[in-house]
Amino acid sequence: MPATATQILERVFGYARFRGQQQAVIDHAIAGGDSLVLMPTGGGKSLCYQIPALMRGGAAVVVSPLIALMRDQVAALLQAGVRAAYLNSTLSYGEVLDVEARLRAGSIDLLYAAPERLLGERTLALLDEVDVALFAIDEAHCVSQWGHDFRPEYLQLAVLRDRFPGIPRMALTATADETTRREIAERLGLAGARWFISGFDRPNIQYRVAPKSTPRDQLARILDTEHRGDAGIVYCLSRRSVDETAEWLRGRGVDALAYHAGMNAREREAHQDRFVRGEGVVMVATIAFGMGIDKPNVRFVAHLNLPKSLEAYYQETGRAGRDGLPATAWMAYGLQDVITLRQMVDGSEAGAERKRLEIRKLDGMLGYCELTTCRRQALLAYFGETLADPCGNCDNCLDPPESWDATEAARKALSCVYRTGQRFGAGYVVDVLRGKDDERMRRFGHHRLPTFGAGDDLDARQWRSVVRQLVARGLLSVDIDGFGSLRLTAAAAGVLRGDAIVELRRDARPARASRKRRAAAGAASGPPGLFDALRARRLELAQSQGVPPYVIFHDATLAAMAEVQPQTLDEMATLSGVGAKKLERYGEIFLRVIREHGVDTAPGADVADAAR
């Protein structure tokens, strides 16, 4: 009798039960239906097409946008005993011929390919000759011309509907609002597809936002107190900032690498490999890095600049904690970030409609930063999802911000912007309010204004906070004239007339000492040092085979080993993430590590056993 989906889930992948809508998606695909699948990062999207691939006749073809992603996914499948391969530009001609021959012979269950490779006439003709089980289009949001990560080659994937009628197609993504979902369905010819929307919530990620003061020092406190030795990603806006921040981190003893488009392709690939295959590596990068990174134990994502939209923010922070263990999404931002991003939008070659959309998305991102309520509720609401109660795991829930009646301060700031001619940036406006009497002030005659020195009751940091929040509230706008000049909006009139009350959040002063570091995943369970010993053995095995450590076992599985301390293969087989092939290959190796930290010291296999 053929194996059921649940039996394959347990035997091949080592999981006892499906999560969320996984089984419904799988059953629909097995029955031959088209689908649009939206699941949060780490929610198990890949199983939705991998299991049908093992149950339907022929090979499943997976469209994947990045070479590194398909390489690592194939490596993980091979570890689980699944017959998988990829076609991309890294293969020699002989290797391509070998993959094609194995596909014709029916000895490949999953074939990964980039869209441009898949749509080449050679590959399409090859697929004409073989049985295709299904088409899975991963990262399907790349088809959206209004999205944050548009890939033109994705638009051509609609040809699959006409060339291969009757073969089920599945579009998968973790990031798509209602508009983007409709666009995916339209552009990929999935008008009749069933939608499976599993939500956007990532409850294991702690969202935190801080006003930017000294961002590197702020980052250092987090690394020193919470994430020392952890893998993480630090996003910066410019290439120069990436290089300087990576060098600064290395000077602090952090294993940090840089990644941006100004580096040559070989260097970028080498750095990405070190990040994916190493332990505790921190990647400092522009947003050019991260898509398709399948590393589950990224414990933090830090933004030293404002992302361009909430979609981008969600996608980038979603690279943390894919294994479901606690992770941090931390961001420092300031008004200069808004000015820089506005200038980038204005200087782009996009049309007027696209520019207006990007400015609206930037405004939404700014509003998110200045929230006084639960950040997770706001983030989910942006994607059309409701969280009934505050999450209890964001900075605003854990340490609710104070608010204050800033009506008088707002009127002073708005009046100062108006009286100085709406020609100056935030720094100069603050100087006028604080009564800074210098040559420039006298040259413009602003030392004679009624607002000169009218704000000496607040310090410069507090005034910068007021101005920043007035921009976020839409009472001030930032002109993209190269100087970041502040201008009044129509909404400011009511405040100046005294018709409106302005409540602002009170920024906490930069912390001198941060909170205690959270325990590393799994380190608090089991005998002292066992989790670290399991990770060290995993790294040895991974390096001996040239694969990322997580394709052997995830941190969550190692944490379970440390907590349960199985003493036999049967006991180890009950742990989540331990499938039959991995149990056969690695069971005794990890049992020996566990025994060495317990009472028994029974001999076991060594690293060489796993390479057979």
**5-62 pLDDT, tens per residue?**
999 999 999 999 999 899 999 999 999 999 999 998 888 899 999 999 999 989 999 9
**Total number of residues shown for the chain:** 612
Looking at the structure, tell me whether residues 588 and 599 fall in a common domain: yes
| Residues 256 and 320 grouped into a single domain | yes
Residue 514 maps to a domain: no
pLDDT at 370 > cutoff 50: yes
Region 526-552: mean pLDDT is 91
Ranges 360-369, 479-488, 522-531, most confident: 360-369
> Which of 420, 425, 416 has its CA nearest to residue 480?
425
Identify the band that residue 480 occupies on the pLDDT scale cut at 50, 70 and 90: low
Considering the domain architecture, whether residues 256 and 395 belong to the same structural domain is answered as yes
Q: Which residue has the higher pLDDT, 221 or 522?
A: 221
Domain assignment of residue 492, yes or no: yes
Say what the pLDDT of residue 177 is: 78
Look over the chain and give the mean of its residue pLDDT values, rounded to a whole number: 89
599 pLDDT tier (thresholds 50, 70, 90): very low
Residue 130 included in any domain: yes
Mean pLDDT of 124-148: 88
Domain with residue 179: its CATH number is 3.40.50.300
| 518 pLDDT higher than 80 | no
Both 302 and 211 in a single domain? yes
Q: Are 433 and 490 members of one domain?
A: yes
Residue 441 belongs to domain spanning? 403-506
pLDDT > 70: percent of the chain: 93
Same domain assignment for residues 190 and 256: no
Q: Is residue 520 part of a domain?
A: no
pLDDT for residue 291: 62
**164 and 105 housed in the same domain:** yes
The last residue of one of the domains, among 490, 506, 522, is 506
Flag whether 139 is in a domain.
Answer: yes
CB neighbourhood size of 32 (10 A): 13
pLDDT at 41: 80
The pLDDT value recorded for residue 218 is 94
Tell me if 513 is assigned to some domain: no
Same-domain check for residues 248 and 156? no
Whether the per-residue pLDDT at 575 is higher than 60: the answer is yes
pLDDT tops 90 at residue 240: yes
**pLDDT of 269 over the 90 cut:** no
Domain count, the chain: 4
- pTM to 2 decimal places: 0.80
Is residue 524 in a domain?
no
Rounded percentage of the chain residues whose pLDDT exceeds 90: 68
Cβ neighbourhood burial of 571 (10 Å; 0-12, 13-18, 19+): middle
- 9 plus 127 within the same structural domain: yes
Output the pLDDT for position 516: 38
Check residue 523 and give its pLDDT.
Answer: 46
Average pLDDT on 496-507 reads 91
Q: Are residues 282 and 417 in the same domain?
A: no
Query: Within 10 Å of residue 372's Cβ, how many Cβ atoms?
Result: 13
Of 116-125, 341-350, 597-606, the range with the lowest mean pLDDT is 597-606
- Which one of 377, 401, 425 terminates a domain? 401
**Final residue of a domain: which of 401, 429, 463?**
401
More confident residue, 598 or 344: 344
The CATH code of the domain that includes 547 is 1.10.150.80
Is residue 320 domain-shared with residue 425, that is, in the same domain?
Answer: no
* 181-190 pLDDT, tens digit each: 899 999 999 9
Q: Are 308 and 341 in contact (CB under 8 A)?
A: yes
Q: Is 17 left (phi over 0), alpha (psi -120 to 50) or beta?
A: beta
Average pLDDT for residues 334-351, to the nearest whole number? 84
Q: Which residues contact 86 (CB under 8 A, 6 or more apart)?
A: 64, 70, 71, 74, 99, 111, 112, 113
pLDDT at 524: 47
Shared domain for 542 and 576, answered yes or no, is yes
